[in-house]
Amino acid sequence: MINMMIGFFKDYFKYKEAAKKQQKWMEKFCEQKGYAINPSWMMATNLKSNLCEMEATFGKRYCPCFEPSGDKALDKKMMCPCEYIEDEIEEYGTCHCALFGPADLSKEQWKASSKRLMEEYQVPKNLKNGVLDTRGMPLDPRRGLPVPDMMHQVKAVLNGYKGDTLTVIVEREQEALNLEKIAAYRGYDCTWEQKDDHIKAQLVLKP
């Protein structure tokens, strides 16, 4: 929990100005659709920071909960606000990320959806001896993508990681390509190689 809070405040100060731009389009979108932004300052701030990081890393405002898939049609649908928002509001009460919901949603409903999201992303990470295996996570039924994905697993581990290098096991080439962009944005070196049934990547975190 301490490492998560440290990561939260690092992102908050890093993206404080950029988040103001996110806030403007979010408010306009909500006004048009009759939606509201999550009333929890911490949840909304974290999601805005994630949107800022998505744009800075991948060049587009992808959904803060899912890294790009490599499928152009699917990735277009995942531009925030994503095309799944109405279906997910019907199922969860909010969009998947618990960023947007109906304007009349109760505090209890917002809290329930936020709790659902946090439980999805706080599953134990498969980290042993400096090797993070990101495979085997459940798939989101609409997008067919893992929850949490490689990007969120790596970010969670790095918040409290003390080693000089981190080896990351991924299943798909697109995840390795995403990891290259994540590493470049953070100033890390990244190399990877294809194995029989997976890809082994290495992040060099310290010179």
Per residue in 109-127, pLDDT tens? Answer: 999 999 999 999 888 999 9
CATH of domain 2-121: 3.90.460
SS3 192: strand
Instruction: Say which CATH topology domain 127-204 has.
Output: Translation Initiation Factor IF3 (3.30.110)
Cα torsion 105, 110, 113, 119 to 10°: value is 180
Backbone angles phi, psi at 108, to 5 degrees: -65, -40
Query: In the predicted model, is pLDDT for residue 1 greater than 90?
Result: no
**What are the residue ranges spanned by the domains of the chain?**
2-121, 127-204
E strand or H helix at 35: strand 35-37
The per-residue pLDDT for range 5-56, each reduced to its tens digit, is 778 888 999 999 999 999 999 999 999 999 999 999 999 999 999 999 999 9
Q: Which two tokens stand for residue 6?
A: 């440290």
pLDDT of residue 206: 84
Mean pLDDT of 148-161: 94
Cβ(103)–Cβ(35) below 8 Å: yes
Split at pLDDT 50, 70, 90, the class of 207 is: confident
The label of the residue with tokens 């929990």 reads: 1
The per-residue pLDDT for range 43-92, each reduced to its tens digit, is 999 999 999 999 999 999 999 999 999 999 999 999 999 999 999 999 99
The DSSP secondary-structure symbol of 163 reads -
SS3 185: helix
